[in-house]
Amino acid sequence: MSDAIGHDRDPPRDAVLASALADLGPEPPTDAVDWDRLEQAVAQRAREQLAGRNPGSIWWQPVAAWARPAIPLGVAAGIALLLVVLRLPAEPPEPAEPPEPLLLGDEIAESVYRGDPALLLRAALTGEDEIP
Amino acid sequence: MRLVQRGDHAAFDALVLRHMRRGFSIAFRILGQREDAEDLVQDALLAALEAIDGFQPGKPFGPWFYRIVVNRAYNARKTRALRSTEEIPAAAAASSPSPEQSAVRADLRRRLAKAMESLSERQRLIVRLFELEGFTGAEIAEILKIRPGTVRWDLHRARRILRDSLGEEHG
């Protein structure tokens, strides 16, 4: 039997050699081990460590649980905000100039004072502050 | 694996059940004592749990865990006074072969043991993991954190030396 080194695959097992090796040293006495006791001992010693790993005691786990629905919601809100921003006009409308105060002529002012608005309405429609 | 990272007992128990026996076998092959191997596999499982956050998702847990076992077993062997792993197994003595067969077998084992001693520690482990534990070269590379080509080369050299020691008995 020869070993094929240089290949990626393993050489075949050598049953004769394996038997001789097993005969040479004591084989692991697996039948003599009380596996249940050993398993319980490991479980008991591991209890404290496992308790320390309880999900509630790890600070980032609630955050991670909350983040799962929050991330898509955040993305959706971001897209909506972007759309709103894109629909806004590029420049805000210029504020309207305040109307020029209508300076009333003495005759009009007097007619208003008298309770006759006809001259005032005419002046407002024509934009003239004096009666021609 | 994520469940274990979140502290799920059942998920961790499942990992223990799946990997404890093989981890024990690897530890035993390095340490040679049952009690030491039992302690070590327990410690390795807890060490794996402690380091579970560093485990890369998507990779197999086995080789990662067995690497912990191997590293700890080597460290333990350096620090503990252990019995020799080259003792005659009870099972071999209990098979009651004829005196001639016993002599041949003893001679074979002596030669093989000597050949094993001539190998590096890594080569010994590689040939045991491959021939006795059934790991693939890629798995062994992952466990020992070396390149697959290095595993194949070590395996090739180790098997050639061991086969030579077996002489006519082999093949």
In tens, the pLDDT along A65-123 reads 677 778 888 899 999 999 888 887 777 667 777 766 656 677 777 877 787 878 777 77
Cα distance between residue B44 and residue B47, in whole Å: 5
- Report the pLDDT value the prediction gives residue B20, as an integer from 0 to 100: 95
The pLDDT of A8-27, averaged and rounded, is 87
- Report the pLDDT value the prediction gives residue B7, as an integer from 0 to 100: 79
SS (H, E, C) B50-106: HCHHHCCCCCCHHHHHHHHHHHHHHHHHHHCCCCCCCCCCHHHHHCCCCHHHHHHHH
DSSP class of B169: G
Residue whose entry in the numeric block shows the structure tokens 């308790």 = A51
Cα distance between residue B119 and residue A20, in whole Å: 16
| Domain co-membership, A83 together with A117 | no
Phi first, then psi, for residue B94 (nearest 5°) are: -85, -10
* Residue A43 contacts B where some CB pair is shorter than 8 Å: yes
pLDDT at B86 over 60: no
User: What stretch(es) of chain B map to CATH 1.10.1740.10?
Assistant: 2-79
Does the distance separating the beta carbons of A20 and B169 come in below 8 Å?
Answer: yes
B16, B116, B163: residue with CB nearest A24: B116
Cα distance between residue B47 and residue A10, in whole Å: 31
B7, B38, B159: residue with CB nearest A55: B7
Q: B21-44: b or e for each residue (b if 16 or more CB lie within 10 Å)?
A: ebbbbbbbbbbbbbebbbbbbbbb
Q: How confident is the model at residue A50 (pLDDT cuts 50, 70, 90)?
A: confident
- Report the pLDDT value the prediction gives residue A31, as an integer from 0 to 100: 92
Distance from CA of B121 to the nearest CA of A (A): 15
**Which amino acid would we find at residue B162?**
L
The pLDDT of B3-21, averaged and rounded, is 87
The pLDDT of A17-30, averaged and rounded, is 88
CA dihedral A38, A39, A42, A43 (to 10 degrees): -150
Is residue A132 situated within a structural domain?
yes
What CATH number does the domain located at B2-79 have? Answer: 1.10.1740.10
| Domain co-membership, A82 together with A107 | no
pLDDT at A130 over 90: no
| Domain co-membership, A107 together with A63 | no
B7, B136, B163: residue with CB nearest A17: B163
Is residue A117 situated within a structural domain?
yes
* Residue A1 contacts B where some CB pair is shorter than 8 Å: yes
**Tens of pLDDT, residues B90-121:** 444 445 667 777 788 888 889 999 999 999 99
pLDDT at B82 over 50: no
The pLDDT of B48-70, averaged and rounded, is 89
* Residue A47 contacts B where some CB pair is shorter than 8 Å: yes
B97-166: CATH topology = Arc Repressor Mutant, subunit A (1.10.10)
Cα distance between residue B117 and residue A128, in whole Å: 124
Distance from CA of B52 to the nearest CA of A (A): 11
Is residue A39 situated within a structural domain?
yes
pLDDT at B87 over 70: no
The pLDDT of B50-61, averaged and rounded, is 85
- Report the pLDDT value the prediction gives residue B4, as an integer from 0 to 100: 80
The pLDDT of B39-66, averaged and rounded, is 90
**Nearest 5 degrees, angle CA B82-CA B88-CA B93?**
145
Give me the number of domains chain A comprises. 2
User: What stretch(es) of chain B map to CATH 1.10.10.10?
Assistant: 97-166
Q: What's the mean pLDDT when you consider all of chain B?
A: 85
| Domain co-membership, A81 together with A46 | yes
pLDDT at A3 over 70: no
pLDDT at B38 over 90: yes
Does the distance separating the beta carbons of B29 and A28 come in below 8 Å?
Answer: yes
By residue count, chain A amounts to 132
- Report the pLDDT value the prediction gives residue A63, as an integer from 0 to 100: 64
Q: What DSSP string runs through A44-97?
A: HHHHHHHHTT-GGG-THHHHHHHHHHHHHHHHHHHHHHHHHHHHS-SSPPPPPP
- Nearest residue in B to A5, CA atom: B152
B45, B87, B91: residue with CB nearest A42: B45
Lowest-confidence segment of A13-17, A66-70, B158-162 by average pLDDT: A66-70
How far is the CA of B72 from the CAs of B48, B68, B123, B135, in angstroms?
Answer: 11, 6, 18, 19
Best of B35, B104, B129, B152 to disrupt the A interface by mutation (most A CBs within 10 Å)?
Answer: B152
- Report the pLDDT value the prediction gives residue B160, as an integer from 0 to 100: 94
* Residue B95 contacts A where some CB pair is shorter than 8 Å: no
**Predicted structure pTM score:** 0.62
The pLDDT of B139-149, averaged and rounded, is 93
- Nearest residue in A to B116, CA atom: A21
Q: Which residues of A touch B20 (CB under 8 A)?
A: 35, 38-39, 42
Q: How confident is the model at residue A60 (pLDDT cuts 50, 70, 90)?
A: low
Helix, strand, coil % over all residues of chain B, rounded to 5: 75, 0, 25
| Domain extent for A107 | 103-132
Residue whose entry in the numeric block shows the structure tokens 């043991």 = B113
